[in-house]
Amino acid sequence: MHQAFRLIFCLLLAGPAFAEYNAGIVDVAAGGDAIAVSVSSGSAELQNLALAAFGTHGHYRLVSGSGTYAFRFSPAGPASVTVTITKGSSGAALATETVTGASLRQALLKAADVAVVRTSGLRGYFAGKLAFVTDRGGAQTIMTSDLFFGEVQSHPVQGKEIIGPRWSPDGGRILFTSYRTGFPDIYLLDVRTHQLSVFASFKGTNSGAHFSHDGTRVAMILSGEGNPEIYIGNPQGRQIKRLTNNQSVEASPCFSPDGSRLVFTSDAAGKPQLYVMSSAGGAMSRLVTGVSNYCAEPDWSVADPRKIVFTAGQGRGFQVAVYDFGTNSGKVVTKAAMDAVEPVWLADGRHVICTFRNTTSRSLYLIDTESGKATRLSPSSLGNAWGATYLAP
């Protein structure tokens, strides 16, 4: 492989049962049809946010009149919201719950998640948190926000080419790759103190860092020994162990939910494809997706460990696809008019966030992988936004 492509590929492409939830009221939409719901609140601010949230969810269809359910959100304090769920046709009360957040906005999103859990059996994803890259102001930087781009905060990590931010499971740190010194190194940002430290700065390429779901390990790509290979270290970037040793290029390692395996990209077959291996080391095995000869940027679902979302080459561009271990096959789930790349799962194992990009712009979209519904999340006021990482509530 041409050396320049090997470097770009390494940098940029940096089973089990379902988890069980006590859903209470569950109404599974028959035949994949969305459930009709109405959403209301005495507060215009809360109602608009609730409408925006449920408008992204492929399991629900918003109606102005009577639906299968009615969700009513009422302020219950400075940072508390009460959600009341009623049967749409009869008006019979089915459930009432009050939740508290760090702000009234966060409480509303948590209350909306309660409505989702009670009526669908899916985990809620509305109250999750984002970190992403933007170029507002001319320089690339990392920002954090809620899922609907409220409570946006900018973090002082300006640098050339910020790539692949990834949350720690506790939400206190973000790993990312940047050319701050002119070379690709891995950095660790403490989002509470805004302290920035070097996580990995070895000779060659340092990229693709990803926490395990229990936070005890970090997988990354290093090329200090001559070839881009997968390594695993502790959360401080020490006790680093090499896992792969071959002539191919590896990229974008991601742990399985239980931490026992890794999914990653390798060009061992001649072109980028998905592979899995034990996180303790050993042989790597290819996942035959059946959808593309270019598969990269995998992310393993925590809510549904049977599924891996990834970027697939389609024609002259890229789309988001999902590999299912249940069927041992892949499926393209977007039909974007531009490239759809950098997908990451949300908390329910059904929806993902990805970047839509063309030659002049990049923005973040939420995708329902079952219906293909796409909703833009990032506002144009932020400029270009890409490389999202999601922290489950």
- Report pTM: 0.91
Provide the pLDDT for residue 225.
Answer: 87
Sequence-ordered list of residues with C-beta below 8 angstroms from that of 32, at least 6 positions apart, any chain: 370, 371
Strand order across the beta sheet in which 250-255 lies: 250-255, 261-266, 273-278, 285-287
- Ramachandran area for residue 271 (φ above 0: left; ψ -120 to 50: alpha; else beta): beta
Please list the pLDDT of the chain residue by residue as tens digits (393 residues): 333 334 434 444 433 322 232 334 544 343 357 999 999 999 999 999 999 999 999 999 999 988 999 999 999 999 999 999 999 778 899 999 999 999 999 999 999 999 999 999 899 999 999 999 999 877 899 999 999 999 999 987 766 789 999 999 999 999 999 988 778 999 999 999 989 999 999 999 999 999 999 999 999 999 988 899 999 999 999 999 999 999 999 999 999 999 999 999 999 999 999 999 999 999 999 999 999 999 999 999 999 999 999 999 999 999 999 999 999 999 999 999 999 999 999 999 999 999 999 999 999 999 999 999 999 999 999 999 999 999 999
| Residue 90 vs residues 34, 42, 85: alpha-carbon distances, Å | 20, 21, 12
In the chain the domains, ranked by start, together with CATH numbers, are: 30-120 (3.40.50.10070), 128-391 (2.120.10.30)
Q: Which two tokens stand for residue 201?
A: 């700065």
Measured distance CA(84)–CA(97) in Å, rounded: 7
Instruction: Go through the chain and tell me how many residues it has.
Output: 393
HSE-CB at 17 with a 13 A cutoff on CA atoms is 3
Provide the pLDDT for residue 107.
Answer: 98
| Residue 354 vs residues 166, 186, 219, 388: alpha-carbon distances, Å | 14, 22, 21, 7
Provide the pLDDT for residue 32.
Answer: 55
Measured distance CA(164)–CA(212) in Å, rounded: 15
Measured distance CA(370)–CA(368) in Å, rounded: 6
Annotate 282-318 with b (16+ C-beta within 10 A) or e (fewer). Answer: eebeebebebbebbbbbbbbbbbbbbbbbbbbbeeeb
**What dihedral angle (degrees, nearest 10) is formed by the CA atoms of 147, 150, 156, 157?**
20
Q: Which two tokens stand for residue 51?
A: 């409408």
**Helix 104-120 × helix 44-56 angle, to 10°:** 40
Strand order across the beta sheet in which 295-300 lies: 295-300, 307-314, 317-324, 329-332
Provide the pLDDT for residue 139.
Answer: 84
Give which of 269, 262, 264, 232 is closest to 247, Cα–Cα.
269
Cα 385–Cα 386–Cα 392 angle in degrees, nearest 5 = 105
